[in-house]
Structure 1
Amino acid sequence: MAPLVRSTPALPVRHVHLGLGAFHRAHQAWYTHVAGDAGIAAFTGRRPDAAVPLAAQDGLYHLLVRSASGDRAELVTSLSGAYDGADLSAWTEAVASPSVGVLTLTVTEAAYRRSPSGSLDLSDPSVAADVASIPGGVAQTVPGRLVLALASRRASDAGPIAVVPCDNLLDNGPTVASVVVALAGAVSASLAEWISSNVSFVSTTIDRITPATTASDIAEVASLTGFADAAPVVTEPFTEWVLAGAFPSGRPAWEVGGARFVDDVTPFEQRKLWLLNGSHSLLAYAAPLRGHATVASAVADPVCREWVESWFELASVFLPFSSPDLAPYRASLLERYENPRIRHNLSQIAMDGSLKLPIRVLPVVTQARAAGVMPLAGAVALAGWIAHLRRGVDVRDPRASELIPLAQADDETAVRSLLGVLDAALAEDKELISVIVETLRDLTR
């Protein structure tokens, strides 16, 4: 089997990325590859693991694109360097380079260290440690590493830069800006002022299902290509990227790959968060109670499919799109969910529910209740989440130690308490609580 090595030099680095996981390599790195005009210096977020095989094969890897009709392998060449995120010297040097105009991020919602109000949690011990250590050139959190890198860019007089968060946060550009400026302000008022004046925070919405790569996937890539690729990524044919904001130092030609640049991403963001992510969360919590482990398995179950379609009907009422505009998007979601070649594990989607539900499910539930509608499909999602917490198995959530004990109370108390964690107003809605309690009993009966 032939080793995977470059036959031509890597492109000069114009794009830096934090969060070197499978999604980045299926999404932003693929768009930069298709643009063909920039290389990426990519850094891991939490662990060095992803960088090791990629560095060994010169940043090259394959996308294994799985459609219902079969697989194809596509070589991606945009990674000019793959680095351990703990290498702060390489990190700050990369962001401080005048040739770099873009810094993208895929680090998950929890990594931004926000308080329940959405602002930076300055009481977080790791955030507090960063405030003290950034002047000495050390940071451990994502906001801290951003501030450290931007301070280095300021010191090198490298000019403005665009920060492009690609995580599922509402208004992710302004949201990340507020976190970064708040941490910078705790370190240095002048640094915070420089960031506010020289750093553009671009809002985005992103979409491409990317399940975990297995040993059989690696073998399939070898069979299709003849190369020994230790770091392939599995993905679906569909991809979407919508961006709004300024790029003061230029950017790769992502539109070549189909990226859309708009004045306001909010309608696209809501459509994706409520329809795709909302239905994913519903399935992640409720479908395992019917014995399902993947999205494809769940949506093949008529009961689960009815939940999803009911959720689509409910959420669509509150989206700024007409029914004819939404119909193709909804149909495409079901087609993607049904793809038998994509193993999208429900346990992966279920992570960080206390952060995801407030932006995926609660906006629809809240608007429905304000309109006098009982959101039955929303009750399935919320009851499923409570059942998930009650089982206490594979609960991966930054508030797990608080939430799991609350879920062990009697049904009504558990529902009221856990709704209160998500939204205090909903915890006072007796009719909604009653419906969620009954739904919880139905699901677990």
Structure 2
Amino acid sequence: MSTLAPPRLDRTLSSAPAAPPVRIVHLGIGNFHRAHQAWYTWRAPDGAGWGIAAFTGRRPDAAEALAPQDGLYTLITRSADADRFELIGSLAEVRPAADHDRFLELLAAPETALVTITVTEAGYRLGADGHLADSEPVRADVEALRADSRAAVTTTPGKLVAGLLARRAAGSGALTILSCDNLPHNGEVARTVVSDLAAQLDAGLVDWIDDHVEFASSMVDRITPATTEADRDLVVESQGYRDASPVPTEPFSEWVVAGSFPAGRPAWEAAGARLVDDVAPYEQRKLTLLNGSHSLMAYAGSIRGHESIDEAIADPAVRGWVEAFWDEAEPHLLLSGTQIADYRTALLERYRNPRIRHRLAQIAADGSAKIGVRILPTVRAERAAGRRPTGCATVLAAWVLHLRGAGAPINDAGGQPYVAAAAAEDVRDAVQAVIARLDTTLGTDQTLVDAVVRQTERLRDRS
């Protein structure tokens, strides 16, 4: 490598594309969005006309890294034996969440046709009853918007409602909000929390949303680890420029989308996305088999001393737990036959890729928002069938031990009530309290509690 400093990545490089006009606003810019929706948009044949203005979540880091690069970044697609590099230019702007005035300006603009979201399950502020949670941050947003429709707000539902108020005031017409998070029926979840918050402000706004806003759904799938300094050095060595925020990812990618998109959308299907009438079967398969086994490995694998998915799946004990969980879940999936068998085979191949260091600690974050959607549907189905769900019990047992301090460190915005429940001196009391917080009915199911307690003992014996 030359001793001269390499050029910084920006749109002055001869190979860099011009910034596309903004037509999409994205909430929750991170590595996954850049490896997935932004990548599909850039690869679409009309992608040069669909620029994305992306806003960060809790931390401004992505904006601080990408704004000096004019939103450009390098996607490193990492197979087991080679790397492929792509310069992605779909991000026209990258801004911190605090830039609320620019967010409102973009939502009010008639050119904006889409809002996409990757804020994780916790970002929707969904309560146990399936509606917007009555939490202090939500109440603060409602009070702020009552006082001033342009007030800075902090929650995702609050931001969306603030943007829709600005759009209604500007008379800018139809808009699609497309959720790209790992939630069942994610479009309906987004509709519910936005409508619930809007109803606390202005009943007429709910009617306007019904008439002008589509809530589309999608299933997303691509394993995308965190960026390392080695990734940055690799870009310098192979591409000759310095990228502060390249994105490593795997070759596999899947995106299944359902929606009518009244204001238009990029031709994502030409880039490999699947447009369907109903996302649910694909969503259920992915949430259960991929995300469910990810949670299992994040907690059980880290308890056994592993740091990444490839290490965990190479452990025969962990591999056995994953297969048992899949066997338990498979009869309850909407897809069947080769659509499941081939998917399971593909998952094992993806997990074994030693060059995708997907850290278990990263996956373990925000378990309180994930376990309910990834694991409990199979638990309920197995108990309704009169069976003891040992595979699911292993996931729950590993999570309880995680909440008690074993394995990956706790990083969970909504986790404190579960940590408190798991702190009981007796493990059985801890298990029962944690399950009861997830589902009061399951908390009284002694067969399930017994199964989870038994698996905590086995996990501790084999750690």
TM-score range, shorter chain: over 0.9
Tell me the residue number matched to 1:217: 231
> Quick one: which amino acid aligns to residue 21 of structure 1?
G
Answer yes or no: is 1:434 the counterpart of 2:434.
no
Please say which of residues 130-139 and 93-102 is displaced more in the overlay. 130-139
Tell me the residue number matched to 1:394: 409
Answer yes or no: is 1:266 the counterpart of 2:277.
no
> Quick one: which amino acid aligns to residue 205 of structure 1?
M
Answer yes or no: is 1:419 the counterpart of 2:430.
no
Cα distance, 1:400 vs. partner?
Answer: 2.8
> Quick one: which amino acid aligns to residue 295 of structure 2?
S
What pairs up with 1:111-190 in 2 under 5 angstroms? 111-121=123-133, 123-135=134-146, 136=148, 137-138=150-151, 139-190=153-204
Q: Matches of 2:448 and 2:156 in 1, distance apart?
A: 37
In structure 1, runs of 5+ residues without a counterpart are: none
- For residue 43 of structure 2, the aligned residue among 24, 34, 42 is 34
> Quick one: which amino acid aligns to residue 456 of structure 2?
L
Tell me the residue number matched to 1:98: 110
Please say which of residues 280-289 and 317-326 is displaced more in the overlay. 317-326
Contact 2:218 2:257 in 1 (8 A): yes
- For residue 7 of structure 2, the aligned residue among 2, 13, 19 is 2
Tell me the residue number matched to 1:54: 66
Contact 2:17 2:89 in 1 (8 A): no
3-state DSSP class of the match of 2:24? strand
Cα distance, 1:94 vs. partner?
Answer: 1.0
Contact 2:29 2:55 in 1 (8 A): yes
3-state DSSP class of the match of 2:322? helix
Q: Matches of 1:188 and 1:351 in 2, distance apart?
A: 35
> Quick one: which amino acid aligns to residue 370 of structure 1?
A
CA-atom RMSD, angstroms? 1.3
Contact 1:380 1:440 in 2 (8 A): yes
- For residue 85 of structure 2, the aligned residue among 64, 70, 73 is 73
> Quick one: which amino acid aligns to residue 292 of structure 1?
H
Please say which of residues 389-398 and 282-291 is displaced more in the overlay. 389-398
**Percent of matched pairs sharing the same residue:** 50
Q: Matches of 1:3 and 1:390 in 2, distance apart?
A: 45
Answer yes or no: is 1:279 the counterpart of 2:290.
no
Kindly tell me the number of residue pairs found equivalent between the two proteins: 444
> Quick one: which amino acid aligns to residue 106 of structure 2?
A
3-state DSSP class of the match of 1:228? coil
- Partner deviation per Cα, 1:126-151 (whole Å, 9 max, x = no partner): 21111121241112211111001111
Contact 1:307 1:377 in 2 (8 A): yes
Q: Matches of 1:67 and 1:292 in 2, distance apart?
A: 21
Q: Matches of 2:369 and 2:10 in 1, distance apart?
A: 40
Answer yes or no: is 1:25 the counterpart of 2:34.
yes
Q: Matches of 1:408 and 1:188 in 2, distance apart?
A: 43
Contact 2:66 2:73 in 1 (8 A): yes
Structure 1: 4+ residue segments shifted above 3 A: none
Question: Structure 1's 128 and 408: CA in aligned 2 closer, same or farther, altered over 3 A?
Answer: closer
Cα distance, 1:53 vs. partner?
Answer: 2.1
Contact 2:18 2:89 in 1 (8 A): no
3-state DSSP class of the match of 1:204? strand
> Quick one: which amino acid aligns to residue 430 of structure 1?
Q
In structure 2, runs of 5+ residues without a counterpart are: 1-5
Cα distance, 1:398 vs. partner?
Answer: 3.2
Q: Matches of 1:68 and 1:54 in 2, distance apart?
A: 28
3-state DSSP class of the match of 2:333? coil
Please say which of residues 129-138 and 52-61 is displaced more in the overlay. 129-138
- Partner deviation per Cα, 1:235-278 (whole Å, 9 max, x = no partner): 11111111112201000111122111111111001000000001
Cα distance, 1:8 vs. partner?
Answer: 4.6
- For residue 253 of structure 1, the aligned residue among 255, 260, 267 is 267
Q: Matches of 2:256 and 2:100 in 1, distance apart?
A: 30
> Quick one: which amino acid aligns to residue 101 of structure 1?
A
What pairs up with 1:290-305 in 2 under 5 angstroms? 290-305=304-319
Q: Matches of 1:67 and 1:337 in 2, distance apart?
A: 12
Contact 2:389 2:451 in 1 (8 A): no
TM-score, scaled relative to structure 2: 0.94
3-state DSSP class of the match of 1:187? coil
- For residue 347 of structure 1, the aligned residue among 355, 361, 382 is 361
3-state DSSP class of the match of 1:263? coil
Q: Matches of 2:338 and 2:41 in 1, distance apart?
A: 33
Q: Matches of 2:366 and 2:251 in 1, distance apart?
A: 26
Q: Matches of 1:325 and 1:235 in 2, distance apart?
A: 24
Tell me the residue number matched to 2:101: 89
> Quick one: which amino acid aligns to residue 360 of structure 2?
L
Please say which of residues 212-221 and 422-431 is displaced more in the overlay. 422-431
Q: Matches of 2:95 and 2:366 in 1, distance apart?
A: 26
Cα distance, 1:73 vs. partner?
Answer: 1.2
Contact 1:72 1:224 in 2 (8 A): no
